[in-house]
Structure 1
Amino acid sequence: MSRRAKPLLPDDQVLKSKPARPRDPAQPNLPFDPMPTRVEPCLALLKTAPPKGADWAFEVKWDGYRLALHIEPKGVRIITRGGHDWTHRFPAIAAAAKNLGLGTAILDGEAVVLDEQSRSDFGALLQRSLGGRGGKRSSAASVFFPFDLLYFDGHDLKGAELSVRRHLLEDFLDGAIGAIQLSEEVHGDSTALLAHACSMGLEGIIVKHRDRPYRSGRAGDWLKIKCVQSESFMIIGYEQSTVACSGIGSLLLAGRKGHDWAYVGSVGTGFNTKNAEYLRATLDKLKTKQPAVPTQGQEPDLCPADIDRGNRVSWMDRRRQLRHASYKGLREVQDNAAVFDVSERLVG
């Protein structure tokens, strides 16, 4: 039986979500706007601590694939952050979207796979659904959590403030269960919410300014505060395993540095034998004679690879080297995940 996911809503009434407000029947009739074929997503800016005050709204930070759900009279499209059509990859979400009874809408959200505690599990999303070998499977287990409404009933809502967009979104999603569920706003002290999220093993929280329009890019209207710091890096090579000659001992990683690349260290934990074999087979097809990025005196048995895929690991310390890193999986090229930028981290 489908269940509703409320990982940040325990018995404590301080953290209980407020009920959705009723629709205002006096809302004006606005002229129809053309429906965008794609909207560049609004991105959250990483911060170490959450802001306080009534101007900010708080949500769970989901760990999955950022998607835009386009509902049109002619059908449903599910678009990745990079603009690729993944409707065929999420059949359960597409079917649920058709049953919402909406004429036209664009919902911004995250597709995840939930564990038994209703926490998003990125590894499970890759291994049980989208990952596979070649990433060609479809996902019947994924749940789409919309957290914003960009277009609705013929009206472009990107210029409206977040509180208005959320009001409309809650109207038709409140109480929904199954493959599409509202990413609920949670209420309480921001520091307590973050601590509670971390104690539950969640990735963190997202903080959004209630009065801001929807602006593409990382404008600072949305913030992300993480419990365990994780970012996407580029794999530039690997070091052979000292145990298995056909295995991988560690992956060498790079981050962006303006328009260039910078070596940030390696990761040697988090992948099992099956992961290592798949990575080795994939990387061996992409070997180059010279490292794509200088590796600062690594061992000579490295197999450099110029590969356009990121993997999720913990972020760098001030010495520009990864510390206590753990591999979480390969992201798809179409996902267009933002690769960690060393320049931004040094400035911030």
Structure 2
Amino acid sequence: MQPMLATPAPSGVLPRGAAWAFEVKWDGVRVLAEVEGGLVRLLSRTGRPVTPAYPELAGLAHLPDVLLDGEVVALEGGVPSFAAIADRMHVRDPRRAAELARVRPVTFMVFDVLRVAGADVVERPYDERRRLLEALDLPEHVLLSPVHDDGDGLWDVTRAHGLEGVVAKRRASPYRPGARSGDWVKAAHRRTRTAYVAGWRPEQGGSGRLGALLLGAPDRDGALRFLGRAGSGVSGPLATRLRTSALGLARDTSPFADTVPAVDARGSHWCVPELVVDVRYLGRGREGRLRQPVVRGLRDDATVDPWEQE
């Protein structure tokens, strides 16, 4: 089963009124936690097993047969840090994961429940699912994501505290697995998105190291569109890993359906668009290019947002 997804708020304005509940938009990794017969199975947004990465969540095993939806976050100074969680999401070695869990444990912020005591509850309204969720005895490292009635007030608080944003959820709505629904509406203080790596450029100076990525996203017809070139954030171990992976996906021609400007294409190495990165940016230009994109990390737990999505 895949998680329900939110749609961007039109013009960044959240809905208002008593029909809506409001939650913090956490800057972490989306995870479905399934507990059955005392066994815990953690799945990414795309359905990949990620249980070994988060051994501190083993306490979920005492819950009855449940399926929880939430966000795994790593806190720095009380604020979720995507850079910190990016170091955890790729770990599969049990000993390494255990050491990281001891030094900097993650927190699973749970915001929905799809199954309780073996009973499917996705068709029940949000408010009823929330009551079922609040009745669960959650273990250490697992917290309920708080719910608020005042969306405008939560927007101001999240901005003041450096949090990512707010999600509005229609109180009467069911849970729609795998769907991007208008019953959940999101707005962020800082724009982020996922993108495919479709090419890369080496650093200037002839070192051969990776210096920038050429990013793309599919349009409504499935054609890959150019989002821009990103050099910020591409350094150290991340740059090494990206270059190694991109070399294994090398191709001779550009995978983009549109023309990449010469200033960006010059000296580029093309690759099959399979690698997915998380990007923060200031906005988009007239041709849809990202303004001042910063690469935050490599993702293996997410799909790429469509070209048209803001």
SS at match of 1:250: strand
- Residue equivalent to 2:232: 269
CA separation of 1:280 and 1:134: change in aligned 2, threshold 3 A: farther
Q: 1:97 aligns with which of 60, 69, 76?
A: 60
CA separation of 1:63 and 1:192: change in aligned 2, threshold 3 A: same
1:39-78 mapped onto 2 (5 Å cutoff): 39-47=1-9, 48-78=12-42
CA distance in 1, matches of 2:29, 2:60: 17
Residue type at the aligned position of 2:287: R
Residue type at the aligned position of 1:301: G
- Residue equivalent to 1:83: 47
Report the more deviating stretch, 288-297 or 156-165.
288-297
TM-score, scaled relative to structure 2: 0.88
Contact kept? 1:125, 1:131, Cα under 8 Å? no
CA distance in 2, matches of 1:151, 1:60: 23
Q: Which structure features the higher share of strand residues?
A: 2
Residue type at the aligned position of 2:291: R
Q: 1:278 aligns with which of 218, 222, 241?
A: 241
CA distance in 1, matches of 2:92, 2:286: 36
Q: 1:211 aligns with which of 160, 164, 172?
A: 172
1:1-348 mapped onto 2 (5 Å cutoff): 39-47=1-9, 48-93=12-57, 95-99=58-62, 102-117=63-78, 119-127=79-87, 129-131=88-90, 138=97, 140=101, 141-173=105-137, 178-188=140-150, 190-216=151-177, 217-243=179-205, 245-258=207-220, 259-293=222-256, 294-297=259-262, 298-313=264-279, 314=281, 316-332=284-300, 335=301, 337-344=302-309
1:167 to partner: Cα distance: 0.7
SS at match of 2:211: strand
* Aligned-residue CA RMSD (Å): 2.2
Equivalenced residue count is: 296
5+ long unaligned stretches in structure 2: none
SS at match of 2:56: helix
TM-score, scaled relative to structure 1: 0.79
SS at match of 1:329: strand
- % identical equivalent positions: 29
CA distance in 1, matches of 2:93, 2:278: 18
Q: Which has the larger radius of gyration?
A: 1
CA separation of 1:289 and 1:50: change in aligned 2, threshold 3 A: same
Superimposed CA distance per residue, residues 7-54 of structure 1 (whole angstroms, 9 cap, x where no aligned partner): xxxxxxxxxxxxxxxxxxxxxxxxxxxxxxxx2211010111111111
1:243 to partner: Cα distance: 4.0
SS at match of 1:125: helix
Residue type at the aligned position of 1:230: T
SS at match of 2:297: coil
Residue type at the aligned position of 2:82: F
1:255 to partner: Cα distance: 1.0
Contact kept? 2:197, 2:277, Cα under 8 Å? yes
Which aligned segments of 4 or more residues in structure 1 are displaced greater than 4 angstroms? Answer: 132-137
5+ long unaligned stretches in structure 1: 1-38
Contact kept? 2:284, 2:290, Cα under 8 Å? yes
1:71 to partner: Cα distance: 1.1
